Amino acid sequence: MSLLEQVQVGMSVIDADGDELGKVEFVRAPDPKSAAFEERVASIHGLIGLGIGSIVGIEPKVPPEMALRFFRKGYLKIAAPHFWAENYYAAGDAIERVEGRTVYLSLNRHGLDAQE
């Protein structure tokens, strides 16, 4: 069983600096059809559409290149603990370990923003 498969909604998420980022709100498994998806959005129009989709509410709400990576690797959405804080996304390969009801990431919050 992969680490991403062990993650459940509601688990706490701790970054590489030991800071709690929030709780898991959503988990998406890797998409075996991601190669076909990447071909479809490889054109500039496809990337623009994916970017616009991320702005208007289609998950994940990240830049197009990052979204493609998330579809390949799977990802989790982390709901921030406060309403004024931002939500985070972590690719499946950013999970270091899962212990009990806690997910530990190999990246800190700044590294999550740079996952490409």
pLDDT digits (tens, 9 = 90+) for 66-111: 888 888 889 999 998 877 777 899 999 999 999 999 999 999 988 9
pTM summary value: 0.77
CA-nearest of 39, 100, 51, 103 to 77 is 103
> Do 76 and 26 meet the contact criterion of CB atoms below 8 Å apart?
yes
pLDDT digits (tens, 9 = 90+) for 6-25: 999 999 999 999 999 999 99
Checking if the pLDDT of 44 tops 50, the result is: no
For the chain, what are the domain ranges?
A: 3-113
* Host H or E run for residue 24: strand 20-28
**C-alpha–C-alpha distance, residues 81 and 87, integer Å:** 9
Instruction: Could you please state the CATH topology (level 3) that the domain comprising 3-113 is classified under.
Output: SH3 type barrels. (2.30.30)
